[in-house]
Amino acid sequence: MKVRDVAEAAGCSIGSVYNEFGDFDGLILTVNRETVQALTERLKAVPADDPLRQLHGLADAYLGFATEHANLLRSLFEHRMEDDRPFPEDILAMVMDAFALMHAPLVRLLPDRDPGDVAVLSRMMFSAVHGIISLGLEERMVAVPPEQLRERLAQFVDTHLAGLGVTRSA
Amino acid sequence: MKVRDVAEAAGCSIGSVYNEFGDFDGLILTVNRETVQALTERLKAVPADDPLRQLHGLADAYLGFATEHANLLRSLFEHRMEDDRPFPEDILAMVMDAFALMHAPLVRLLPDRDPGDVAVLSRMMFSAVHGIISLGLEERMVAVPPEQLRERLAQFVDTHLAGLGVTRSA
DNA sequence: GATTCTTCTTGAACAATGTTCATTTTCGTA
DNA sequence: TACGAAAATGAACATTGTTCAAGAAGAATC
């Protein structure tokens, strides 16, 4: 993304882009905010009736979003602020909220576990899913073949849940 | 990293940097090659006597490397080639080889499983570890609190192995 | 409607950085 | 020493983020 391209696409001058977004970081962060919102919206649309199905749905929804908007997700996770400025708190909070969406179904599946523990478990599980997807979707690094990704991801979730003591029939 | 800084640090001219590395991509890729080699060396130093301990050791070694060389790993995984040039095959192969290091111990722990399946499982497991670590070490996105990362990572490996049917005493 | 003040918009100019290439230096060889 | 090949140089260029004085547009007052 280039400031000049944005200006041309918006039909205004370069200066107006700066009036609107402040600087390049501001431009990127505006895009990233929309990305998190769109992602969250998509994740929240996953049915919450059955917790196990919900977990699979969340992983699958994340995979779908990552497939369709690979570059947006990269911008969200890989962008570094200029001049070591701190990353905006609101975006951090939104991302953490999105990653915490696995918490509710996990609590239902693991009612006896310490809630604080489940909170970490859910974010860790989402981080793992994120890692599998982000590396799996890289054209270059085929850690997991893309055509298998959907199936393998479901397998991963099942395996991990089994390790946590969740029986498949629950 | 800037070409001018490299030239100054090397005590030569800007042009000499270009004679040596071709272009900026060449410079980055040279660094990335050394990064993969250093990472692989470290991972291969993990004792292979006990497969379960080896898996924990690999995860822990990756965490250690990521902690000490966060920016090098980011460069390796996040760098995009200019002008849509293809990513060098040799680096791809080296990264895949590093990620495949979980294969041998997993085969020992899962002797009855289809080898091709275990190959994917091992890369998937490493991708998951990568995701947990890379997000956990981001100052900004504390998916998993850094001070807990080591312990949580071991817990993750254990949980996943349990899900795969590996008994803890094996 | 004219004048003045405020606000917004503009794009030329600047700074930083990757890149090129004619020139210069270095060095081996006759 | 003289010549030619190879290497090194850094000034100049292209791209891109950034600034800001000047101008345009609008609001307010008389």
CB contact under 8 A, A87 and B140: yes
Residue A85: CB atoms within 10 Å: 10
Instruction: Give the CA-to-C1' distance from B19 to C23 in angstroms.
Output: 16
- Chain A residues lying within 8 Å of B132, measured CB to CB: 124, 127-128, 131
**How many residue pairs bridge chain A and chain B with CB atoms within 8 Å of each other?**
100
CA nearest B149: which of A123, A104, A153? A123
Top-ranked range on mean pLDDT: pick from A166-170, B145-149, B161-165: B161-165
Q: What chain A residue is nearest to B145 in terms of C-alpha separation?
A: A120
Distance to chain B for A100, nearest Cα, Å = 9
Which residues, numbered 75 to 94 in chain A, qualify as contacts with chain B under a Cβ-Cβ cut-off of 8 Å? Answer: 77-78, 87, 92
So what's the pLDDT on residue A170? Answer: 47
Band (B99; pLDDT cuts 50, 70, 90): very high
Band (A168; pLDDT cuts 50, 70, 90): low
* Long-range pairs of A15-20 with CB within 8 A, sequence gap ≥ 24: none
Cα end-to-end span (Å), chain B: 47
Q: Please state at what angle helix B115-137 crosses helix A115-137, rounded to 10 degrees.
A: 110
10 Å CB burial of residue A125 (0-12, 13-18, 19+) is buried
- Chain B residues lying within 8 Å of A87, measured CB to CB: 140
CA nearest A28: which of A9, A8, A6? A6
Strand C nucleotides, any atom under 7 Å from protein beta carbons: they are 8-13, 17-22
CB contact under 8 A, A161 and B163: yes
CB contact under 8 A, B127 and A142: no
Give pLDDT tens digits for A95-127: 999 999 999 999 999 999 999 999 999 999 999
Q: What chain B residue is nearest to A133 in terms of C-alpha separation?
A: B127
So what's the pLDDT on residue B170? Answer: 47
CB contact under 8 A, B120 and A158: no
Nucleotide whose C1' lies closest to the alpha carbon of residue A13:
C10
- Report if pTM > 0.85: yes
Distance to chain A for B32, nearest Cα, Å = 14
So what's the pLDDT on residue A133? Answer: 96
Q: How far apart are CA B36 and CA B51, in angstroms?
A: 23
Contacts of A29 (CB under 8 A, 6+ apart): A79, A88, A91
Instruction: Give the CA-to-C1' distance from B15 to C21 in angstroms.
Output: 10
- Chain A residues lying within 8 Å of B161, measured CB to CB: 163
Best probe of the A interface among B76, B81, B123, by most A CBs < 10 A, is B123
Q: How far apart are CA A160 and CA B163, in angstroms?
A: 6
Task: Examine the pLDDT at B141 and tell me if it is beyond 80.
Answer: no
So what's the pLDDT on residue B168? Answer: 66
Q: What chain B residue is nearest to A130 in terms of C-alpha separation?
A: B131
CA nearest B65: which of B98, B34, B35? B35
